[in-house]
Each structure stands twice: as structure tokens, then as C-alpha cells.
Chains A and B, each alone.
Chain A
Amino acid sequence: MHFTIHLTTGCSMRCDYCYSPPLKRIDMTEEICRDTAAFILASKPGNTGIVFYGGEPLLRKDLILMMTGLLREAERAGGHSFHFRVTTNGLALDEDFMSFADSSGIAVALSVDGAKQAHDRHRKTVDGEGTFKTVDEKIDMLLRWQPYAQAMTVVTPETLPYYCDSVSFLFERGFRYVIVALDYSRSWEERHLELLREQYGLLADLYRRLTADERKFYFSPFDIKIASHIHGVGVMCERCHGGEKQVSVAPDGSLYPCVSFVRDCGKDSEFRIGDIWNGFDEEKRRRLYSRSQSLKATCRECALRDRCNNRCSCVNWQSAGQVDSVSPVLCETERILMPIADSLAESLFSRKAPMFIQKHYNPAFPVISLLEDMQSLR
């Protein structure tokens, strides 16, 4: 079970693609933070992921300290196991926080869109200034503490021309785990699809070269699709299961199935599935989950349906307006990505690239990868 804790709706940036724009800052109170910890502990899940989220979660470092302390204390008492992560825009990242994250076992993921042209296109300060320079200056510090830190990147139609350059930039800067989401909510046109195809081709060349050189490089669009063939239904288990295996806790203590829905705050929101004091509205929770996981009528005949991202309720809600509808742009982009990823995998497998084979066929690879990452800290 994963709990995403929205510590505040406030943010130090004003990214124009934000799905939860900080119109009004609402912070979680210390009391709600304590009650959230109590709710999580009462849920008694065997193994629990805690993601600190916002707005910008580092605006409330005090609450991160509080929640981590409470849950780690419970863990020491026995019966619980937690792993923590925070996703930050980087502006408030400093040595003190990294030291705390290190000692508390909090993985830090940085939202960064890559090359300057791409990053500054959307990720701006309140005053409208690009944040690339400031964020770029934080990368060395982050990777010094956590060489395995993830770069979380959003690609829009406007930043498509820099897609490969941005990923390449992030790799050169030291990131080995690049997680990319396409912003489906924006206005995509046919020309963007051609550009996307072209960029995926360039990215496949980059991935092929790095993997053949035995460099560690996780690039989520390709790696997820390749894994969806290699591991089949097992990968489906790892996909979004909003409300069932993941829950977002809003600053006011309301529960939602996923991060995107928190913006729809309100007691009467159709996506509010309970609160931390009264628990889940089980019927509503089940109904939403069932809707999001149902196979869409438009997808039933599709040969790619089980490898497609068509069951992500957030994406569907943002792009098609319904959790159980698929948008044309999702369909188009998935149809572009799949054959490129498969062709890439075929070429690496046929040349017996050891890093490719270990990464995708050895279930212990993440542990080996961890050993290397930890070793690099020495």
C-alpha cells in the first residue's frame, strides 16, 4: 500500500502544466499530520510506501520530519515496515535536508524537465522566471547523497523538440533513473505525433548505445513497455491501482485514489473516497476502482490492450475527462511507443547485450543495481 501525503497545496513554482495549480495555499496542520500517521498505522498494511507530495512538500519540511519520526518509531516497535520518498521541485533542497533524508531513509526524486530550453519552458518561479539554473545547481548535491535519485520529467508538445536532448542531458548530469510522463492534457496535434516518433527514435539510439556500453540507465517509457512483454501480467500488477493500493491524503485529511484528484477537493467530490478519521467509503472506493480498471470498449479488440497505459485513471481523467475513457492522444502515443520499444529490445537481445538481459530477465537485478549504487556512495 502506498500513501501519498499532500502536505500543502502551496508551491514555490508556477509550472503552467501543473495539474494541481496552487491557487490557494492550504497546509496540512500538525494535528492532521499526526492523525494521518495514526490512520496509516491503524490500516496495518504489511509494507507501506509513504510519498511526501504537494504542492511542494519541502515547504513543510517540519511535517516531513514529524511524519517520518512517528512512523519510524512505530516501525521500531514492530509490526510495520515503511519506505519513504519525496518528490520535490528542488528549490528548497539543501544539505541539511539531504542529510536528514539520508539518515531517515527517504528517497528524493527531483522534478526536472531536462535541458534548459525544455525546463524553462514550463517550470517557472512565481515571478515567471525559468528555474533551470537554480535546479541545475542542486543536482550535484542530490546525486552526491543519492546517486540513485530519480529525475521526474514531464514532456509537453512544446518541449517535444528537446525530448532526447533533455534525457541525454539528465544522463550526462548523472541521473540514472529518468521517469517521463507525457502531458496528455495539453493540445496535441498530428505534427506533434510525428515529432514524438522522431524523438523516440533518437532516444532508442541513446538507450541502445548506453545499454551496449553497459551503462546503467533506466528510462521509464521504454523500460516499462519492454517489461510489459517480458513479464506480462506481472507488470500489470505494478500499474496504477488507484484507491486500492495507493491512496492520496489531502491537506484536510480527505482520501483520494490518486494525486491528480486532490485538486478536486471538496466534501462532495466524486473522487473523495473517505477521510483519515472515518476511513474509506468502501462502496465509493470499489466503484471508482472498478471503473478505472474496466477494459474500455474501444480497447477490447486491440492487440496492445494489456501493454497499454489505458487503465491509468489519472491520465484518463486529465485527457478524456473520465476515469474509464481513453483519449485519442493516449492511444496514438502508445501505438507509436510500443513498436519502437520492442524493436529496441529485439536489437539488444539479438546482440546478447548483457546489461539488457540482466536488467530485464534477472529478477534480482534491482538488488544488484542497489549494490552498485550503494557502493558508489563509498
Chain B
Amino acid sequence: MKIEPVCQYSEPGYPDAGEFCRKSGMESFIPERWKREAFAMGTMLALMFGGCTAAFAETQIPANPGLLAEKSGNEIPTQSNAVTAPIFEHGYGFVRSGGEAASHPKFLSENEARQIIEEEFKKAGVIFDRHDMKLNGAAGDYSGAGKVSLQELELTNYKGPVELDGYSTKNRFAYEFVTPADSKQFLQNSSQMISTAPPVAYTKPAAQILNALLARSAKVNVITFYDPLAMKDCQGDLAVSRTELKAQIRDAIAWAKAKGWIK
């Protein structure tokens, strides 16, 4: 037996993640078993598109009366036929740890992210004049009503309201930035049970779950952003995260203009 460097090794005949994302969409590869498991198709679909699609089409699902604005306090004026924007995917939004090891992500603070989002929108003429708007209901009100119930999936005991970070009275849409802490609301205590590389932070999947919930409520026009959780050399890289968040915002503004949300 000997140590023998391999001088030449053919490039494997399957793409790396970047190449796959450039050429394919995850929606073409849905296992039959998942299609049969109707119990969670809404959530499953939301998550399946987490792979590489540039942005899965905006969702408009018939309203569920469960997700209503609070009667008092900081409620959001509801809209008929409200639209939930697609997730604008820039940044992996997912960091795993190994069996014994862990990557070191760095998280954007919610305050900084809000500042970036609101400054970028301000350049497009949008002012978010109201903050921390609550939408009651969420998971608890979905049992039996559809297929997106997190409670049905026993993922979490989350029953609290969905809280949106900002709302523009003039432009009539809200935004939400999903932090790793937010994501834990949706997938509480479960991150260690998946594989040898459990996720330590998963903002993009959480944003997709949230988007599915918001789309089902269809009570308010909303755009969801997520912490890109950029990594460089195995360490979190906030500078790259900021750039990727700005790219999410750039796409969101272009989309909002196309939808007439921004004149």
C-alpha cells in the first residue's frame, strides 16, 4: 500500500451546484412520492423551489380567514386579492454544520437589514412608514383549511402572529426580513435531526414557508427577504451578505414596478 497522488482525474459527469442552477430548475425533478404526499404539498412545493429557481411565480391562493390583522394595535389594512411576491433568490440562505464540525455563519442584524431595505426602497420612492405589523393566526388557523399547516406537520408549536417588518401606506405593500431567529419559529428544535450535516441556519427555507403562509392569507401585498448567510472560506461574510441582500432588493423593486406597486 502506498500514497500515490492522482495526477489526472476526469471531471465528474454530473454538474456542480452552480452549473445545475444555471441550467435547470428544481421543479422538473419532483419525486413521485412527494406528489402523493398531499399532506404538505403546499409547504413541500414552497421548499422544493428553494433549490435554484430564480424566483418562483408569485402565489395567490384563496384567502383563509384565519390570518387576519389584529383588531387593535398595529394592524395592516387588508387588501382584496393581495399578492405575495416571489422570493428573490440571492444568497444560499442555508448553513449546515457537519457531524462534529460547524461552519461559522455571520448573521445580518435585523436593524441593519431593515436599514438597507428601507434605504434602497427610498431611492425608488417608497417609504415604509409603519413597522412591526402583526398578522394574527398563522399556523394554528390552517388545520384542515389547506395543506400548508405547520401545526399539522408537528414541526413547531408556533401559534403566534406573523409579524411584518415594514409597511408603506402610500404604496400599500409590506416587507418582511427573515432572520435566523425568525426561522427558528417555524422549525423549532428540529435542526439537529436531519442528517450528518444539519442546518444551523436556514433563512431561505423559512422565508419560503412564510411566503406560503402569507400567500394563503392573501390579505396584504408583501415582499419577503431573507438573510443570505454568505460564506467565504468557511466563515460568514457580512460584506457579501449585504451585497446579496441588495441584489434581492434590486430584483424586488424591479418586480414591484412591473406589478404597479411602485409607480
Contacts and interface: CB of A to CB of B under 8 A. Distances in A.
Interface in B45-92: 47-48, 50-52, 92
A210 interface: no
A232 B103 CA distance: 14
B201 interface: yes
A346 B14 contact: yes
Contacts of A105: 189, 192
A94 to B, nearest CB: 20
Nearest to B191: A83
Interface string B187-229: 1011111111111111011001000000000000000000000
Contacts of A51: 100
A127 interface: no
Interface string A60-84: 0000000000000000000001011
A220 B107 CA distance: 29
25 contacts: A2-B102, A46-B107, A190-B1, A193-B1, A214-B33, A218-B195, A218-B196, A234-B17, A245-B97, A245-B104, A246-B102, A304-B6, A332-B4, A342-B14, A348-B14, A354-B30, A361-B21, A361-B26, A362-B48, A363-B92, A367-B199, A367-B202, A370-B155, A371-B44, A372-B37
Nearest to A300: B5
Interface in B136-194: 153-155, 180, 184, 187, 189-194
A301 B5 contact: yes
Majority DSSP secondary structure for residues of B touching A: loop
A325 B13 CA distance: 31
Contact of A238 (B17, B52, B197): B197
A84 B195 contact: no
Q: Taking each of A146, A241, A370, A377, which has the highest tally of chain B beta carbons within 10 Å of its own beta carbon? A: A370
A230 B197 contact: no
Given A229-B12, A363-B204, A364-B50, A303 B7 contact: yes
B128 interface: no
Contact of A374 (B34, B92, B190, B234): B190
A107 B40 contact: no
B13 to A, nearest CB: 4
A361 B52 contact: yes
Nearest to B20: A361
B43 A371 contact: yes
Nearest to A246: B100
A367 B205 contact: yes
Nearest to A335: B6
A278 interface: no
B221 to A, nearest CB: 25
A323 to B, nearest CB: 15
Nearest to A238: B98
Q: How large is the interface on A (under 10, 10 to 19, 20 to 34, 35 or more residues)?
A: 35 or more
B102 A47 contact: yes
A342 B12 CA distance: 6
B260 interface: no
Nearest to B32: A214
B14 A237 contact: no
Contacts of B2: 328, 331-332
Contacts of A352: 28-29
Contacts of A326: 3
Nearest to B8: A303
Interface string A223-234: 000110111111
A207 interface: no
Contacts of B258: none
Contacts of A300: 5
A332 B1 contact: yes
Contact of A366 (B44, B48, B198): B198
A236 B233 CA distance: 9
Contacts of A372: 37
A364 B4 contact: no
